[in-house]
Amino acid sequence: MKHLQFHFSLVIRKKRLLVIDGYIHQQNKSTAKVSYWLCEIKLYSAGIQLNSDDQFLKYTENPHTHMPVPERLKIREMLTNIKSRVDREATAIG
């Protein structure tokens, strides 16, 4: 298995996204020991399993049937920042 570059991004409703090589994955389910992640594009049938310390256990290496969309992640991060500002600040901007 090749070395994967990944990071987590916090999104709306305080759920994490797993970003691997520019592709966004959402947590499908989790147990006490394992969390299961799927590509956010439902046509792609690969899965990732992480242990409770967020270390890779298993990665199904199917080629993605779509290109990564980094703009999607930027939009989600921007919306998360806006919503957190609304929660923190008592006065309106402007």
- Global pTM reads 0.64
pLDDT digits (tens, 9 = 90+) for 66-75: 777 778 878 8
For residues 39 and 32, give the distance between their C-alpha atoms in angstroms, rounded to a whole number: 22
Pairing of strands 34-39, 23-30: antiparallel
Rounded to whole angstroms, the Cα distance separating 67 from 82 reads: 27
Q: Does 6-88 carry CATH code 3.40.50.10330? A: no
| DSSP element (H, E) containing 28 | strand 23-30
Q: pLDDT digits over 27-57, tens only? A: 888 899 999 988 887 766 678 888 888 888 8
Q: Would the pLDDT of 60 be above 80?
A: no
* Confidence at residue 19, expressed as pLDDT on a 0 to 100 scale: 83
Residue 27's alpha-carbon distances to 23, 88, 89, in angstroms, are 13, 27, 30
Give the domain ranges of the chain.
6-88
- The mean predicted confidence, pLDDT, of the chain is 77
